[in-house]
Amino acid sequence: MLTELYVEHFVLIDALRLQFTQGLHVFTGETGAGKSLLLDATRLILGDRASAANVQRGFDHALVEAVFVVPPTHPAYGYLQDWGITVDEGTVVVSRTLYTSGRSICRVNGRTITVQMLKQLGDTLVEMQGQHESHALLSNRYQRNIVDLYGQHTHLSAQTAACYRTWQDDIRALEQAQVSEQERARQIDMLRFQIEEIEAANLTPGEEDALREERHQLLAFDKLKSNLDKLLAALEDPSFGAIAQLSAAEAASREIAAGVDALDDIRQMVESARVNAEEASFGLNKYAAQIEADPRRLDEIETRIAALRTLMRKYGASSEEILAHLATAKATYAQLLAHDELLERHRMKVEQSRSDYLQMARQLHQCRVKAASGLQAQVQAQLHRLQMTDARFVVEVTADENQCSEDGYDKVDFLFSGNPGENLMPLQKVASGGELSRTLLALKVVVADLEQIDTLIFDEIDAGVSGEAAQSVAVMLRQLGEDRQVLCVTHAAQVAAAGHAHFQIVKDNVDGRAHTRIYALNTKKRRLEVGRLLGASVSDNTALLHADALLESFRIEPSTRP
């Protein structure tokens, strides 16, 4: 329920704060006073399109803020929880700031949200019925939704929608499978080549890593072998090798040391050096023989790595990815070879899902036909209460399996006849403005208890209505306000008198500029305003007596006042 509305710098409104309770709140004023501004401001915090032209001249922004109190079971909680917005004691504060640049900022309980989110939330908080919104009543979709709301078969509608989506998914899968024969042959040839190429490579997972490691070892062996050869040459060369040189040195040392005992130690050291060199040569030859490798292996590894890189450029960055591509290619290849069988399976799925959908749609149709019968009877009764005793209202539900959708295959038409002897015709073709307004009101009365929206706003629902019909509209609006909140902009004295609270919208000229203000009327001022609506001046005592009678006819005990 809307408990407070604050508007600042919005068109002709400087600043105003209105407080509301449960019940019927009526708004009246002279033509041009700015009654539409209040509704436009309310639409702004419900997610409607904003215009920079709505910012009051001389200011850089306009602000509209509304405070709602909602019970824990209210649908708004679902959105707020999804958005991570906390609610303190059921209070939801919605605001929208509009700048002259055209940009607007939407907030809920201090958290910034998008305009689309604001509209989703607004649809759960307020239902507005004005001239713009009344056109929805004329659409078959809206009329179908009213029947579904009245019939309370939301679960069946959801199941029908789910079956329709499954059916459409199956149709798309079949269409994808229905490739042309030329394309199928091309794909078969391509996949066959890929499969043969990959299988011929005889890949194993992780093979490229193992090959690189082995290549590294072989390259290291070549370097080692080269160094071994150099060392053996240095030791064994018959002319310049260490062994030959040490052998010559040893012979010379013997001759020198033959008659000189003091040089015998030198001879022994030279001899030991020669023996060590020979032992080193022997050990190196033995080691070289042990590590001998196949010189062709490195070429084989390089060739294999090059082949793997070719496959990687085509099918994946590793042997694992190439093998995964091979599995996918084989599966697709098998499907293309078994194309007829695959198509048949898809066709069977489409037929089954279509059958499931039609079964649910038929059940939904039967429920709608039953709901339509009850709805038209109740709306007809409400129309009679609204002084439309000759009116006939029929809800026609027509099934057409060629017009399937998520909503089923039904077309719902509200048929109307306002006078005896006239044929029933679609409501949008035959109803006058007054008849359309009263039909909308009758529908709202019938489905009001089924909707979870606590605040209804009517913009001149009494348009084109006068006399006893206006009195009936007033009575019905007041009854609507007994257990919910109703805000109504009106020109009818009867509706104004029916309100539990009455606000007057006034336009003043101050220093050459127009300003719209809204005042809550006390008993005395309300009497004068109702008298004005009756078409008389304040001095017309007859009009005031009539106003007194109207107000008295709707007076209730204070203890039962909302």
Backbone angles phi, psi at 390, to 5 degrees: -95, -5
HSE-CB of 519 using CA atoms within 13 angstroms: 12
Strand 513-520's sheet: what is its strand order?
126-129, 455-459, 485-489, 23-29, 501-510, 513-520
Residues 6 or more apart whose Cβ sits within 8 Å of residue 448? 456, 480, 484
Q: Counting every residue, how long is the chain?
A: 562
Amino acid at 533: L
Handedness of CA 367, 373, 376, 379 (dihedral sign): negative
* H-only helix segments in 126-206: 131-134, 140-151, 154-177, 181-201
Handedness of CA 52, 57, 58, 62 (dihedral sign): negative
Q: pLDDT tens digits, residue range 438-463? A: 888 888 889 887 877 889 999 888 77
* Nearest partner of 144 among 135, 127, 157, judged by Cα: 157
**CA distance linking residue 380 with residue 67, whole number of Å:** 37
Per-residue confidence (pLDDT) for residue 290, from 0 to 100: 65
CB-based contact 311:198 (threshold 8 Å): yes
Q: pLDDT tens digits, residue range 139-182? A: 888 899 899 999 999 889 999 999 999 999 999 988 887 776 67
The 3-class secondary structure across 72-116, one letter per residue, is CCCCHHHHHHHCCCCCECCEEEEEEEEECCCCEEEEECCEEECHH
Q: pLDDT tens digits, residue range 213-235? A: 878 777 777 777 788 888 888 98
Per-residue confidence (pLDDT) for residue 559, from 0 to 100: 35
Q: In the numeric block, which tokens belong to residue 271?
A: 């001899």
**Would you list the DSSP string of 213-263?**
HHHHHHHHHHHHHHHHHHHHHHHH-TTTSHHHHHHHHHHHHHHHHTS-GGG
**Taking all residues of the chain, what is their mean pLDDT, rounded to a whole number?**
88
Per-residue confidence (pLDDT) for residue 136, from 0 to 100: 63
Q: Are strands 13-19 and 485-489 parallel, antiparallel or unpaired?
A: unpaired
Q: In the numeric block, which tokens belong to residue 45?
A: 């915090």
**CA distance linking residue 271 with residue 293, whole number of Å:** 36
**CA distance linking residue 258 with residue 273, whole number of Å:** 19
- pTM for the whole thing? 0.66
Per-residue confidence (pLDDT) for residue 181, from 0 to 100: 64
Low-confidence residues of the chain, pLDDT below 50?
Answer: 557-562
